[in-house]
Amino acid sequence: MAFSHKQIAESIHGVFNILGVEKCESYLLFGGETALGNGFRAFLYFLGLAYCFIGLSAITARFFRSMENVVKHTRRVVKIDPSTNAEIVKYEKVWNYTIADITLLAFGTSFPQISLATIDAIRNIGSLVARGLGPGMLVGSAAFDLFPIHAVCVVVPKAGELKKISDIGVWLVELFWSFWAYIWLYIILEVWTPNVITLWEALLTVLQFGLLLTHAYAQDKRWPYLSLPLTRTERPEDWVPAEATSCKYESKVCNEYSELHQVGEDEIKDIVDIFSIHSRSGKENSHVLKLWKQQFADALMLESTESRKLNNVYLRLARISWQLLLVPWRLLFAFVPPYHIAHGWIAFICSLLFISGIAYVVTQLTDLISCVTGINSYVIAFTALAAGTSWPDLVASKIAAEHQTTADSAIANITCSNSVNIYVGIGIPWLIDTAYNFVVYREPLRIQNAEGLSFSLLVFFATSVGCIAVLVYRRVTLGAELGGPRLWAWVTCVYFMLLWIIFVVLSSLKVSGII
């Protein structure tokens, strides 16, 4: 009888919690938030989370423009022709194509997840138990990268257009380290030290990112004994080829991803490197100040020239409303210096700092959503956080799949981002917490709900095999991983989305204790 009363009491307790009778005492800005109902608070916090993701999409545009300038950076090389003794001047790219894909592209697009997980670890420093927000979000982000982003990239090329990986050897190396990352994570969670992460395990996790870079570079340069004897076909010199970065590209593609309005073509032609040692006048500084001033003017512009030509009043109002929603973000991000300075490095770093700031707000909102709804933080991490923070990955891969002549960067970004998520995104936060615990407590770091995380790794590994198998099958039958007949492209797209749904549903049910 006592047992029955206990069950009834727990049931009533759960119902009251769902109805919002129990109040979450935490708040975001004002203590008065606790006076609102849990349901209304959850609605407001979800709106805030969505608005943060819109901010991520806006700053992503700045990030890409700066990254393109970094990748395009060249150096002057003088060589002597042995037959004529004449000087031959060439301009070679500073960045290796493969290393740029792994570091600038994959690391940069994964920075929202990395910064969020690192902030979460810093907030948790001193605790012997790690929070599940960071690892759960990173594993969920890996699933989002592999399935939905592949699904988008497959259908992006025009009907019948085929785009294949030109350097299959580099992709296989990146794929190996991507799969090994999740095998390694499962080993340290379940085999070596179950439910516990030691300092040395965290350190080895981070160091493996260096091994990935070394192995990929060795494959790109075809170093003996360290590379696969596979040839490669033609590949683009730039991350986005020159024909894709014209004024037409800027007005069409960049606006599609809510990018800030770009300066005109005449202004772009006049821009020179203000850090060039050959500069003799102060003209360059005036150009930069003019561009920076124009950024603030563009931030307040609600209608473009194209939208003013629309005859549909409702469509114009919808566009104006969307631009009005973006105005706060546009004004904030206008403080990012023009991406022409220092080959784009200053804008690149400033963009990452803004991304970190948004990630901090996202961690606060996620905690509050979990508090007022009672939803497991892992479930929120697998779904909303993973999808929202993976938006830069989606945009980068889509642009590359649409405008590059090959599928290298589009697929490399997906594959390498998954590796970066583990080696850096999980490795660095765990290294911070384990190092502190080792010095202060002489204790390792215990992982909250490690069983649920390990189960998610197994599900992800199984579904990812199904994803890669289809890409290989398309390579064998169609000769390319992306594009092809429109029907088969959409069938592949739907298949990848089903794999993602399977991962999300099974992982969420496991961490919630339902299965």
**Calpha distance 333→329 (Å, rounded):** 6
Q: Which of 460, 502, 356, 515 is nearest to 140 (CA)?
A: 460
| Cα distance between residue 174 and residue 165, in whole Å | 12
Q: Specify whether the CB–CB gap between 378 and 513 falls below 8 A.
A: no
φ and ψ of 91, to 5 deg = -120, 115
**Spatial distance between the Cα atoms of 328 and 107, rounded to a whole number of angstroms:** 27
Contacts of 40 (CB under 8 A, 6+ apart): none
Distance CA 475, CA 246 (A): 31
pLDDT truncated to tens, each residue of the chain (515 aa)? 444 444 434 433 433 344 444 677 777 887 778 888 888 888 898 898 888 888 887 787 778 778 878 877 778 888 887 788 788 888 777 788 788 878 887 887 788 888 888 888 888 888 888 876 677 788 888 899 899 999 999 999 888 888 988 888 888 998 999 999 989 999 998 888 888 999 999 999 999 999 999 999 999 888 988 888 887 776 666 555 555 444 343 343 334 333 333 333 333 333 222 232 233 334 465 577 888 888 888 888 776 666 666 676 777 787 778 888 888 888 888 888 888 788 888 888 898 888 888 888 887 888 888 888 888 777 887 788 888 878 778 887 888 888 888 888 888 878 888 888 889 988 999 999 999 999 998 888 888 777 888 888 899 989 999 999 999 999 999 988 999 899 999 999 999 999 999 999 998 888 777 77
Three-state secondary-structure class, residue 28: coil
DSSP state of 513: T
The Cα 68–Cα 262 span in angstroms is 14
Name every residue whose Cβ is closer than 8 Å to that of residue 443 and which is 6 or more positions away in sequence. Answer: 128, 437
Q: Bridge partners of 130?
A: 447
Residue 217 tokens, joined: 């570079």
Q: What is the CA radius of gyration of the chain?
A: 25
- Look up tokens 């259908």; give the residue: 155
Query: Distance between CA 482 and CA 317 in Å, rounded?
Result: 36
CB 172 within 8 A of CB 413: no
What pLDDT was estimated at residue 257?
35
The DSSP bridge pattern shows strands 129-130 and 87-93 to be unpaired
| 129-130 and 445-447 strand pairing | parallel
Helices (H), 156-198: 168-186
311 secondary structure, DSSP code = -
Whether 424 contacts 114, CB under 8 Å: yes
Edge-first strand order for the sheet with 445-447 is 129-130, 445-447, 196-197
Token pair belonging to 230: 């596979």
CA dihedral 293→296→298→299, nearest 10 degrees, is 170
pTM: 0.75
The answer to whether 402 and 156 are in contact (CB under 8 A) is yes
- Is the distance from CB of 148 to CB of 142 less than 8 angstroms? no
Q: Is 234 helix (H, G, I), strand (E, B) or coil?
A: coil
CATH numbers and ranges of domains, the chain: 47-58+95-226+307-512 (1.20.1420.30)
Angle made by CA atoms 454, 140, 126, in degrees to the nearest 5: 70
The answer to whether 155 and 493 are in contact (CB under 8 A) is yes
Q: According to the model, what pLDDT value does residue 500 have? A: 93
Predicted local confidence at residue 285, as pLDDT: 54
Question: What is the pLDDT, as a whole number, of residue 391?
Answer: 78
Residue 347 neighbours by CB distance under 10 Å: 23
Give the Cα separation of 232 and 97 in Å (integer): 13
CA 160/CA 489 separation, integer angstroms: 9
How many other C-beta atoms lie within 10 A of the C-beta of residue 422?
25
Q: What does the DSSP 8-state code read for residue 425?
A: I
User: Residue 28's pLDDT is what?
Assistant: 80
